[in-house]
Structure 1
């Protein structure tokens, strides 16, 4: 009887210290300034897709804010209106009377939005940004959600991978990193990220170009110590953008 009592006490003690878990669905989507590969406006279609996708948090790349080429639309505000989600935007740089940059959509409140500047070693384009925010989940739980758009040249991408890790690896909150990294699996910068993060896609599904993709450059990552399991990873086929969206349902500590 004493042994049984001790076992029961041990079980209760262990369960009392068990870490709480949260299951969320996240998306990474390069929206190509709201246009398809033929430059036809698809922002409304993208918003409708996101709304019905089941995603709780979305990292968006190539977002326009009141630019001439996208008819002066504040795209994050419009996507927020269509989806009914909270939204945030940070700029890469000024462009065509407005700004070109990154966005986050979330079913949950967004706080502490940060425009983390990322280095570019080649080209005349100004430095780019990684958007980061703290998301307030139910039951007083918080996560750090970030979305990046890495450079086209491999030397800049490696520097940017180091910058992302330096910024996110020691964050006090669980960390999710999404984005168009412009690098295929096996590239040195991807291998470096894999030292700190776990990718949600075990099958290495192609993401670019849409709708018939031939390479994988879009990712969802979770910091290793925060991930419990990946319940689902999928890449829906749509031609609204020149990239396919990436969606993962994950269970995190």
Structure 2
């Protein structure tokens, strides 16, 4: 029987609105709950407990809905730290965070979690959450490193989803991810083009992506936030996948 997984990917801008002046984490929590996602890939998540809440942002967002989560601390500074997180309704078999930074100004990580199909522990799905460099040279190095990592660490037959903020405004990431790993990008497959996600108020750039392998794409959508309260500077992406 095919299992369906609903995936959400969202850069939450450390819980601040687009102008970086207003705290909107409560709005973000309400929003992601409404999506009904099984797996949530988050970027720019504050992992410390020093800003307005007494737990980390990923714990606050997960609450009682996503009982399993993984966090990769990437950028550390005087006020705390932030990175990527994966929230999951399914338990992790294991997870790890790999440093993929290419310069001292942008601390980036590759967060890798593994879940199993319900009732079939041998059927694993690998989840990679990423937030890549702003500059093309750094992104190219990171993508090459991700390709090597996947080739070395993830079986070719396993389900694989890579999601996050690629910062790939030049649209070059797929050359490596498709060419070397055989990945497909959800919106490119379903709609013939990448989803425009930034800036949220008037999206022009296709920065966020959901890539997959050995899964069956059932549906994908860019979620409009026109009727939502102020949220992040990125628009979120959703996709439904089936895998056996």
2:28 aligned with 1:38: no
Deviates more, 1:29-38 or 1:79-88: 79-88
2:202 aligned with 1:209: no
Q: Which residue of 1 aligns with 2:137?
A: 155
Give per-residue Cα distances to partners, 1:66-100, cap 9 Å, x unaligned.
26566675101111116344222111132234221
The alignment of Structure 1 onto Structure 2 pairs a total of residues equal to: 228
Q: Classify the secondary structure of the residue corresponding to 1:166.
A: helix
State whether residues 132 and 146 of structure 1, in contact with CA within 8 Å, keep that contact through their aligned partners in structure 2.
Answer: yes
2:228 aligned with 1:243: no
Find the aligned partners of 2:50 and 2:67 in 1 and give their Cα distance: 25
The TM-score, its normalising length taken from structure 1, stands at: 0.82
2:68 aligned with 1:86: yes
More helix by share: 1
Structure 1 residue 236 displacement after superposition: 0.7
Q: Classify the secondary structure of the residue corresponding to 1:83.
A: coil
Counterparts of residues 3-18 of structure 1 (less than 5 Å): none
Gaps of 5+ in 2: none
Q: Classify the secondary structure of the residue corresponding to 2:133.
A: coil
Gaps of 5+ in 1: 1-19
Find the aligned partners of 2:9 and 2:66 in 1 and give their Cα distance: 18
Find the aligned partners of 1:249 and 1:128 in 2 and give their Cα distance: 27
Q: Classify the secondary structure of the residue corresponding to 1:194.
A: helix
Give per-residue Cα distances to partners, 1:125-161, cap 9 Å, x unaligned.
2542111111233122421101000000101100111
Give per-residue Cα distances to partners, 1:177-222, cap 9 Å, x unaligned.
00100003632x3321122211000332211111321111100011
Corresponding residue to 1:130 among 69, 86, 110: 110
State whether residues 44 and 82 of structure 1, in contact with CA within 8 Å, keep that contact through their aligned partners in structure 2.
Answer: no
Q: Any runs of at least 4 consecutive aligned residues in structure 1 with deviations exceeding 6 A, and if so which?
A: none
State whether residues 66 and 87 of structure 2, in contact with CA within 8 Å, keep that contact through their aligned partners in structure 1.
Answer: no
Find the aligned partners of 1:111 and 1:185 in 2 and give their Cα distance: 35
RMSD (CA atoms)? 2.0
State whether residues 48 and 55 of structure 2, in contact with CA within 8 Å, keep that contact through their aligned partners in structure 1.
Answer: yes
Q: Which has the larger radius of gyration?
A: 1
Find the aligned partners of 2:124 and 2:82 in 1 and give their Cα distance: 28
